[in-house]
Amino acid sequence: MIESARLVLRPPQHSDLPFILAEINTPGMMRYLGGKVRDADEVATGLTADIAAFAAGTWRRWTVFRRDDDCPIGRVGLFVVQTEAAPAVLLGQHEIGWMLAQDHQGQGYATEAAQAVLGYGFAQLAFPSIHAQTSDSNTESTRMMARLGFSRAQELDYVDPAYPAADNPTTVYRLAPEAWNARA
């Protein structure tokens, strides 16, 4: 588990499925992730994969809870870039991603959760850098990446055919531990 001032981030559990189906797997939430709501079996399979990967240390996707009422509000994770359309130099690099349920957006929770996970990635896992990806259409994530200290790595941008034209190109950002530590 990772804890911050207002949040508790815990490894995924099968009991997260109703929350993910109701609050994360919605048209509004999936808008910047290919735009497609997945069926319940796909979501359950993905959650099972997240649980196994977390246990193996392959990737880590935490479920985010508010500390004061134990309410699930989102998910944040550290992954390895595997998108086939990504430039070869980006494949296999560490990446952070986040999703905060719509009712909980705009309150600083996503930034707080991402800060906690970035700190874990640099301090506990000693990652040499962490990337983040979005598109210019996702202005909220783009602004959050700037707040977190990410720098644009425009030379790594790419067109991902799995996403609609409005969400291309995929824009890539990078954060080095030196930049992260300088913020403290």
On average, the pLDDT of the chain sits at 91
Question: Which range marks the domain in which residue 99 is found?
Answer: 2-182
Instruction: Please write the tens of the pLDDT for every residue from 96-122.
Output: 999 998 899 899 999 999 999 999 999
> Does the pLDDT at position 184 exceed 70?
no
- Residues 6 or more apart in contact with residue 97 via CB below 8 angstroms: 76, 77, 79, 132, 133
Q: Which pair of tokens denotes residue 174?
A: 């990078």
Mean pLDDT on 31-50: 82
Alpha-carbon gap, residue 23 to 45, rounded angstroms: 17
41: CB partners within 8 A, 6+ apart: none
What is the band of 149 on the pLDDT scale with cuts at 50, 70, 90? very high
What is the mean pLDDT of the segment spanning 32-45?
80
Residue 134 has pLDDT above 80, yes or no: yes
Residue 127 exposure: Cα atoms within 13 Å on the Cβ side: 24
Q: How many domains does the chain have?
A: 1
Q: What is the CATH number of the domain that holds 40?
A: 3.40.630.30
Helix axes 109-123, 139-148, angle to 10 degrees: 50
Give the pLDDT score at 76. Answer: 96
Alpha-carbon distance 8 to 169, whole Å? 33
Query: Can you give the C-alpha Rg of the chain in angstroms?
Result: 16
Contact at 8 Å (CB) between 58 and 79?
no
- What's the whole-model pTM score? 0.91
Partners of 131 in the β-ladder = 95, 174
Eight-state DSSP code of residue 10: E
Per the CB < 8 A criterion, the answer to whether 131 and 94 are in contact is yes
pLDDT at 165 over 70: yes
* Residues paired with 173 in a beta bridge: 132, 152
pLDDT at 124: 94
**78, 28 contact by CB (below 8 A):** no
* Tokens 């240390």 -> residue: 57
